[in-house]
Amino acid sequence: MKALQKSRPEPGLWQIEAPVPEISPDEVLIRVRKTGICGTDIHIWNWDDWAARTVPVPLITGHEFAGEIVALGRNVTGLEVGQRCSGEGHLIGHDSRQSRAGKFHLDPETRGIGVNEPGAFAEYLALPAFNVVPLPDAIDDEIGAILDPLGNAVHTALSFDLVGEDVLITGAGPIGIMAAAVARHVGARHVVITDVNPARLDLATQVADVVPVNVAQEDLAAVKSRLRMREGFDVGLEMSGNQTALDQMVENLVMGGRIALLGIPPGKSPVDWSRIVFKAITIKGVYGREIFETWYKMIAMLENGLNVRPVITHRFAAQDFARGFEVMASGQSGKVVLDWG
Ligand code: NAD
Ligand code: ZN
């Protein structure tokens, strides 16, 4: 089969011919149809310090996918050959305290397909049946291929009650933009999204009814008064990984405001803790998606009018993956989807 592999510990990905993976009794074999390129895949392409520390070489990469089940391991029940599916790319253990409490997304031994284990940038993927999420007809393969990052957005956005609340999202990357659409869908009042990249803010306005703010040019305090917000934002969703954005968020939150942090800062970054204390702010770190609560909720929302399709700005055939990575790395795109035929 064709696959994209990190073959050498250096920048790039290489298309290879690999054997179709064998499945164990608890796994299914999936014929991959569409895959999404993630920021994580860009880190792996660039072979930065994180990637060099984390990713074994050689490895077939990629973790955002949709496809069709073509074979079932002998222990698998409840799934069928021919069924369309996506799936959770975090492979969890079942022995930890959190796993045994049913909080699978908090298992400390999580391993990621396409990061630690063979991934989805391939014609075929072997996945534990446990991780498979069947897709209803209403969700086509390209939306199925972006459920992983949509899940990050949904998990973060649903961390706190947003109904009637003023929400600040820092970072209009694909995940920040999808979080804005979710915040709108569940009934937030004002949804303000910040970035320093005009193309990204433009895209945000095409996907959701948001107030875009270029923080390189406009001050958030001015935006608050323009929107007649008396005190500040009720909830902040940090989706840039940028220190300045977090500082601005804390500055512009109400007393007792709540922050969900998804963005990953590059290293240790200073935080003015006294401001957090005196404003009585609650901060929640968010990792991945809730397995499988987030999946149920996002599929239900997609079946009931949540539309994130405009966040997909580019589509390429899998063999043109290098173009796809170039577009994704340029910062001028939303989601980029590869077609595996
Ligand atoms: P992205 O890099 O495409 O988007 C981040 C955006 O933040 C960019 O558009 C950038 O221009 C913008 N930005 C930079 N400085 C800013 C500032 N000062 N104020 C506002 N915006 C600013 O990333 P993405 O794929 O949308 O992911 C969002 C974040 O979530 C990233 O940090 C990513 O690493 C992280 N992430 C975390 C998890 C998790 O499980 N915690 C999972 C996926 C992604
Ligand atoms: Zn991803």
Other beta carbons less than 10 A from residue 183's beta carbon: 27
Q: 165: closest CA among 253, 239, 285?
A: 253
Q: Are residues 278 and 314 in the same domain?
A: no
40 in active site: yes
Q: 146: closest CA among 61, 83, 86?
A: 86
pLDDT at 176: 98
Predicted confidence pLDDT, tens digits, the chain (341 residues): 999 999 999 999 999 999 999 999 999 999 999 999 999 999 999 999 999 999 999 999 999 999 999 999 999 999 999 999 999 999 999 999 999 999 999 999 999 999 999 999 999 999 999 999 999 999 999 999 999 999 999 999 999 999 999 999 999 999 999 999 999 999 999 999 999 999 999 999 999 999 999 999 999 999 999 999 989 999 999 999 999 999 999 999 999 999 999 999 988 989 999 999 999 999 999 999 999 999 999 999 999 999 999 999 999 999 999 999 999 999 999 999 999 99
Ligand 1 atom with least separation from CA of 288: 40
Q: Are residues 43 and 6 in the same domain?
A: yes
Range of the domain at 226: 152-285
CB 146 within 8 A of CB 36: yes
Distance CA 23, CA 341 (A): 22
Distance CA 90, CA 131 (A): 8
Q: Are residues 6 and 140 in the same domain?
A: yes
Residue 302 within any structural domain of the chain = no
CB 229 within 8 A of CB 253: no
294 in active site: no
Residue with token string 């006294």: 274
Calculate the dihedral angle through the C-alpha atoms of 121, 125, 128, 131, rounding to the nearest 10 degrees.
Answer: 50
Give strand pairing partners of 189. Answer: none
Q: Are residues 15 and 136 in the same domain?
A: yes
Q: How far is CA 236 from CA 110, 129, 249, 315, in A?
A: 27, 36, 6, 31
Which of 195, 238, 244 should be mutated for ligand 1, with most atoms under 8 A from CB?
A: 195
Own/partner contacts of 329-336, CB < 8 Å, gap of 24 or more, are 329/42, 329/45, 329/46, 331/197, 331/199, 331/200, 332/199, 334/174, 334/177, 334/203, 334/207, 334/310, 335/36, 335/37, 335/146, 335/149, 335/174, 335/311, 336/36, 336/37, 336/312
Q: Does the Cβ of 197 fall within 6 Å of ligand 1?
A: yes
For ligand 1, atom 35, the nearest C-alpha belongs to 263
**What pLDDT digit, counting tens, does each position of 167-211 carry?**
999 999 999 999 999 999 999 999 999 999 999 999 999 999 999
Residue 240 within any structural domain of the chain = yes
Question: Catalytic: which of 43, 90, 105, 185?
Answer: 43
Residue 109 within any structural domain of the chain = yes
Determine the 3-state secondary structure of 214 from DSSP: strand
- Rounded to two decimals, the ipTM of the complex is 0.99
| CATH code of the domain covering residue 123 | 3.90.180.10
The domain total for the chain is 2
Residue 290 within any structural domain of the chain = no
CB 250 within 8 A of CB 281: yes
Protein residues near ligand 2, an ion, with CB under 5 A? 38, 64, 148-149
Q: Are residues 256 and 318 in the same domain?
A: no
- pLDDT over 70 percentage in the chain: 100
Q: Are residues 42 and 163 in the same domain?
A: no
| CATH code of the domain covering residue 229 | 3.40.50.720
Host H or E run for residue 312: strand 312-317
Residue 292 within any structural domain of the chain = no
Q: Are residues 265 and 161 in the same domain?
A: yes
Q: How far is CA 306 from CA 97, 149, 178, in A?
A: 35, 15, 10
Q: Which two tokens stand for residue 102?
A: 């049913």
**What pLDDT digit, counting tens, does each position of 274-297 carry?**
999 999 999 999 999 999 999 999
Q: 261: closest CA among 155, 145, 144, 142?
A: 155
**What pLDDT digit, counting tens, does each position of 51-82 carry?**
999 999 999 999 999 999 999 999 999 999 99
Q: How far is CA 83 from CA 8, 30, 172, in A?
A: 35, 9, 34
Q: Does the Cβ of 237 fall within 6 Å of ligand 1?
A: no
Going along 135-190, which residue ranges are E strands? 167-170
Distance CA 179, CA 169 (A): 8
Residue 297 within any structural domain of the chain = no
Q: Are residues 232 and 270 in the same domain?
A: yes
Q: Are residues 264 and 205 in the same domain?
A: yes
Q: 33: closest CA among 315, 273, 327?
A: 315
Q: Are residues 39 and 161 in the same domain?
A: no
Q: Are residues 158 and 141 in the same domain?
A: no
Residue 232 within any structural domain of the chain = yes
Residue 293 within any structural domain of the chain = no
Residue with token string 């659409």: 181
Q: Does the Cβ of 244 fall within 6 Å of ligand 1?
A: yes
CB 149 within 8 A of CB 64: yes
Of the listed ligands, the closest to the CA of 119 is 2
Q: Which two tokens stand for residue 269?
A: 């970054």
Q: Are residues 198 and 242 in the same domain?
A: yes
Of the listed ligands, the closest to the CA of 238 is 1
pLDDT at 267: 87
